[in-house]
Amino acid sequence: MELESGSTNRQSRLKLYKSTLILAYQSFGVVYGDLSTSPIYVYTSTFSGRLRLHEDDDEILGVLSLVFWTLTLIPLCKYIVFVLGADDNGEGGTFALYSLLCRRAKLGLLHPSHSTDDDISSQDSCQLIKETRASSLLKEFFDKHHSSRVVLLLIVILGTSMVIADGILTPSMSGYAVLITCLILVGLFALQHIGTHRVGFLFAPIILLWLLSISGVGIYNIIQWNPRVVSALSPYYVYKLFKLTGKDGWTSLGGIVLCITGAEAMFADLGHFSQLSIRIAFTAIIYPSLILAYMGEAAYLSKHKEDLQRSFYRAIPEVVFWPVFIIATLATVVASQAVISATFSIISQCWALKCFPRVKIIHTSNQMHGQIYIPEVNWMLMVFCLLVVIGFRDTDMIANAYGLTVVIVMFVTTCLMFLVIVMVWKRNILAAFIFVTVFGFVELLYLSSCLAKVAKGGWIPLIFSLIVLSVMYIWHYGTLQKQSFESHNRTSLDMLLSLGPNVGINRVRGIGLIYTNVLSGIPPMFSHFVTSFPAFHQVLIFVTFQFLTTPRVSANQRFIVSRIGPAEFRLYRCIVRFGYKDARKDSYAFETDLIETVRVFLQHESDDGDARDSVSEMPVNQHESDCLRDDVSMRAENGSGAGLTRCKRVRFCGVDNSKELEDLEDAREAGLAYMMGNTCVLARETSSFVKKFAINIVYGFLRRNCRSPSTALGVPHTSLIEVGMAYRV
């Protein structure tokens, strides 16, 4: 037995090592393309401004030293060591940090505070960590000042919009002729539908060849031209650079910051891979290759100062120039993949947290749930990229905008990490201050230099991010207003139960599914509908979807089934919970699971029940139903819905649900009818012009043009009944 156990453990470890190495290999083609190609334009961009007046060896070595310490502090220390550890159950990015704060510190505007997700939240080990005085004070501050939550959301959306802007600007940095660049972009975006894992395998050899080339050229240049550049690893040369150049050195920081473009993608693309695979790839290959490339280029420049404006390609030995040039051309194409994949991940998180209109999310891998493709976002990105390439042909102008987006995203991540360290990890506030002081100081220094170039291209991402920020916040605000109206104006289930014989068993044959966002009670749109039509379906099920702020919900926590009222009413509630990375099933598979869930619920009641007024919650094993693919939790609910707030173990006996099971099967054979709300949110007549514009025009336009709930859920049009209502908010 011990030998078999040891063999099994060894096989599982080997499988883990193999999958990690495969993911690390794929990450080269997805995560690191942008970061790896930065040596092409860093020195050129840095010396394109006033720093061209300072071309001595000390200035060149000072720039190298600044590049080395920037790469060491930001990608290596900040992201690889710290930020990757702040993942949200495997997901990364700005919204993943916000999701952590919403779920564990309750800092969101929309609280997922229903008891139905308490069991998921309780599994977080961080929930068991004792509150510190600093975390308690911060929570008290956010609870007391509601505006602080709004500011936090706006900061998060700002960072998110900058990542999307980065996804538009990165493909435009190739520097080819306009026509060639446009053709390359169309081909790149056309490849996205094949999935991250296939794109990774396709592009990874290109980046590995590229890294091998630039590190080999770097070693050659160091030995051939100036081995003394190794001394530039000392931070003393950074001090010497600013002492010699003064303000000119500060303005050059906008070019040096380009050496860390793509660093944020390591965190944003985390859902497509894993922490260990990204760390292995960066520390073992990416980091040393980049350092050697920058050192080799500085060694060449120290002896060929006349080549500063085209230093990278001039530093390539003539004998290998054309092979390296071809690989460089291919690598610049791959560079865009990191932010494109990151944009897909972030948009899906925004959608789940109700900050983005409904879009179609396609999961492209059965092994990695975070590998997704969003067609609408993909083609919109392509259109915007083409507009930037055609409209702004000056690569220096695009580089200025590019640097600003990069540093703003990084600074937003640093600010959110402060809250995560204190309120989620419950660490000493001094550790959080040290984190913010060290990394925030470096990022603010770069940010100040980039802001000085707003008029020279930096305004491009600012305008775009302002538009995206406005759209995302208006959508979030409109969604909150709609849900708030429905929650405060819902009708008690007691009204439905008081109809007595009208909701009895003499109904139209079949199953009626009412989709509602209200957990207890009936939304106002259905109140009149329910009371006006006495002949309901034979079985009526209220279905509520909960999209939680956790990436995935395990199978045994997916469904919660409840009974509403007496057994003869044939009324049930089913709460279906999804994380923002869970794949949705098609309509037929979902309705099959749903009905089988109710059937298994009735079987458990029949086998184990003795007190209908008590609340039961028990898992159903998968072998109990051939058709049921998910485990189920079940609860009995009284008319007011209060049963959802209390759960206790009870033992049942002597309950015969055979007639209910027969009615359920009979209704299932008769067919299903879907009832959904189609609400319209409008501003009040007394509202300000700004609110009317935001709600009536912007939110209304988004609501009419995004995917409808019925389309997103795959509901058959011929079986759908939509109930419309206009809300004045």
pLDDT in tens, 562-604: 888 777 778 888 888 877 667 666 667 778 888 888 888 888 7
Amino acid at residue number 119: D
Q: Looking at residue 583, what is its pLDDT? A: 66
Strands, sheet with 632-634, edge to edge from the N-terminal-most edge strand:
632-634, 559-563, 571-578, 537-547, 508-515, 672-682, 720-728
Task: Tell me the range of 54-58, 361-365, 620-624 where mean pLDDT is highest.
Answer: 361-365
Q: Could you give the CA distance from residue 557 to residue 577 in angstroms, rounded to a whole number?
A: 8
Per-residue pLDDT band for 317 (boundaries 50, 70, 90) equals very high
Residues above pLDDT 90, as percent of the chain: 22
Q: Would you place residue 281 in the very low, low, confident or very high pLDDT band (cuts 50, 70, 90)?
A: very high
d(CA 558, CA 581): 13
Average pLDDT over residues 702-717: 80
Cα 160 from chain centre: 9
Portion of the chain with pLDDT greater than 70, in percent? 80
- pLDDT for 479-497, tens place per residue? 888 877 777 777 777 766 6
Domains of the chain: 16-110+137-475 (1.20.1740.10), 490-606+658-728 (no CATH)
Q: Which residue has the tokens 């189609």?
A: 678
CA distance 190 to 386: 14
Q: Report the distance separating Cα 264 and Cα 40, nearest Å.
A: 19
Asked if 22 and 30 count as a contact pair (C-beta separation under 8 A), the reply is no
Burial label, 562 (beta-carbon count in 10 A; 0-12, 13-18, 19+): buried
Residue 563: phi, psi to the nearest 5?
A: -100, 140
Mean pLDDT of the chain, nearest integer: 79
Q: Where are the alpha helices (DSSP H) in 425-558?
A: 429-451, 459-488, 493-497, 524-532
List Cα–Cα distances, 89 to 23, 49, 128, 277, 362, in angstroms. Answer: 17, 44, 16, 16, 20
Kindly tell me if the per-residue pLDDT of 299 is higher than 90.
yes
Work out the pLDDT band at 361, boundaries 50, 70, 90.
confident
pLDDT band (50, 70, 90) for residue 122 = very low
Look at residue 624 and tell me whether its pLDDT is greater than 50.
no
What is the rounded CA–CA span in Å between residue 253 and residue 470? 30
Within 10 angstroms of residue 133's Cβ, the number of other Cβ atoms is 9
Per-residue pLDDT at 640 exceeds 50: no
